[in-house]
Amino acid sequence: MNNLEAAKQEVLKGCRLTIEKAFTVGTAGNISARVAGEELFVITPTTMDYAILTAEDLVVIDMEGKVVDGKYAPSIEHNLHRLIYLKRPDVNAVVHVHSTYATAYASIEGITVMPSIDIESINYLGGDVDRCPFAAPGSDELAAYTSDYLGKKAAVLMQNHGSTCVGKDMGTAITACEIVEKTCYSLFLINTMGKPIPFDAAFKEKAWNKYSNKFGVK
Ligand SMILES: [Zn+2]
């Protein structure tokens, strides 16, 4: 299998997993994978059901934003994916979803961050996750906000919209989505009973070192 075909299979794997894990509603969200060794990435087409997507339906885009192959229009958020690949050479897969708890948490007034509350959210996401401000879907503004607020972490929440998670491959990007969803759900539970206990700062720092070494993002 060549690198382009491998990237297409990664995107299809992401589509299968987001359906399996109930991260997607209708045709909302978009998934992409970098083509190893090339200035290209593969992304889902706009408004197509993940359940029926095949490798031939996917769209190939270069790092300047030009569509180089595909019979359908790319996802409207293709620029958001492109900016992440440009800013994060360690990232090979990007998953944007509108999952229930992440979207709910990202829509709470006054919230600017999803705090790390357990081992997973620190070890797999790299610590607290920022929420970027709202901008229209598909806009250059949203692409800039999302890629900026992602920073060096594995996830970013998007106000009144959802989340975007990244990884060195599709498996890790999907795991990041799961941990974001689980953390937002846990925060919902915790806040009904009390307040989250802030994580020990020294442990957090150590975990960040572990995370950043693992993903090479230091
Ligand atoms: Zn969206």
Beta bridge partners of 155: 165
CA of 189 to the centre of ligand 1 (A): 25
Query: Is 60 in contact with 4 (CB distance < 8 Å)?
Result: yes
Query: Is 116 in contact with 122 (CB distance < 8 Å)?
Result: yes
pLDDT tens string for the chain (218 positions)? 799 999 999 999 999 999 999 888 777 889 999 999 999 999 999 988 888 899 999 999 999 999 999 999 999 999 999 999 999 999 999 999 999 999 999 999 999 999 988 888 888 898 899 999 999 999 999 999 999 999 999 999 999 999 999 999 999 999 999 999 999 999 999 999 999 888 888 888 887 777 666 654 44
CA of 44 to the centre of ligand 1 (A): 13
Structural domains of the chain, with CATH: 3-215 (3.40.225.10)
CA of 164 to the centre of ligand 1 (A): 9
- Lookup result for tokens 């800039």: 144
The whole-angstrom separation of Cα 147 and Cα 81 is: 8
Amino acid at 30: N
CA of 97 to the centre of ligand 1 (A): 6
CA of 45 to the centre of ligand 1 (A): 13
Cα 57 to Cα 65, 68, 103, 169, 196, distances in angstroms: 18, 13, 28, 21, 44
CA of 99 to the centre of ligand 1 (A): 10
The residues, ordered by sequence, that sit 6+ positions from 152 with a Cβ below 8 Å of its Cβ are 88, 126, 212, 217
